[in-house]
Amino acid sequence: MLRTSRFHTGTVGPFAGNHDVHESREDHESTRGFVTFVIVVSFVVGFVGALPAAQIFRARVDTVQVTVTVIDAGGRLITGLSRDDFELFEDGAPQPITQFTDERVPVSLGVLLDASDSMRGQPIVDARAAVDRFLAVLLEGGDEAFVAAFNHVPRIVAPWTRPPASLRGRLEPFRPSGGTAIYDALVASAPLFDRRLHTRAALLVISDGADTASDRRLQQARDVLRRTDPFVYAIAIDSAGATASTRVNADALRDITGPSGGYTEVVQGTADLGPATERIARELNSQYMLGYVPSRAPDGGWREIRVRMKDRSYFTRARRGYYAN
């Protein structure tokens, strides 16, 4: 999906712009031609003025906006950089960065919480507490959020809501049961990002088990998410008591989070969810927003995006491309 900023540059026509008048000997010798020219200009201007509004041609500029996280070799977040520190490429071709900010801008964030049978007892208590703190304390009032839960069926608990703190406690009624359908939940939540308020977006998935109940496959979920642009983060709870068949598949989650610019963190228990969500919030507070105008017109095809630092000791995470619709 191409999420863009559009700027209308005004009416475009054969007489747009400023025209200087230069007198010469030929001007005096061709008075009749000059009069004819004035008549033609008057006719054309009058004709354009009479066109319906739908027939006025307007130029449109599409700006592709890219959220970027910068880290060093130790995984530490790097802040305080400028536009000149970045290099941006589309399909291998360098692109001038026309928009840039290192300030925190509001984010639209969705939460998908596993409410399958394996989350019974203390795990669901810890998970609900971590989500409530994330929404009420770690996000800001100008952000927006939605909350969803899933077992073998995904459920949107609350659509986009501001401020996020007002969603505290919305997961309380859910009691864990059934299987785990992570891929179906991802596919069901993707359309919500087309209706979000803010340009910057993120999705947090919390789960303790492998997908055992989805109708969709991993590749289908990946393809759907490629048409949206949120950073996808996953917290995989790798409980010691999990069996081989139900143990969380961190590699599958990495296949989903990596191309989006996000990451998957594996924790050993639900007590670790609080610190894990704090690390995600800290990253959201430290991201950069870049914008560029593609050198090619939209054609519906996939465009690869690569963001690179001029200082090669720093590394970036960003979405790897978009569909130029």
Distance CA 51, CA 47 (A): 7
pLDDT along the chain (325 residues), means of 10: 39 33 38 32 37 43 92 98 98 97 98 95 95 97 98 96 98 94 97 97 96 96 95 92 81 96 96 97 98 94 98 98 94
With the C-alpha atoms ordered 68, 74, 79, 81, is the resulting torsion angle positive or negative? negative
**Cα atoms in the 13 Å half-sphere on the side-chain side of 320:** 12
Please report the pLDDT score of residue 3 as a whole number: 52
Distance CA 124, CA 176 (A): 7
**DSSP characters over 299-312:** -SSEEEEEEEESST
With the C-alpha atoms ordered 216, 195, 134, 263, is the resulting torsion angle positive or negative? positive
Beta bridge mates, 290: 66, 100
Residue in this structure with the two tokens 């200087």, named with its chain if needed:
20
Kindly report the pTM of this predicted structure.
0.81
Please report the pLDDT score of residue 241 as a whole number: 72
Query: CA angle 253-66-227, nearest 5°?
Result: 50
Neighbours of 189 (CB within 10 A): 23
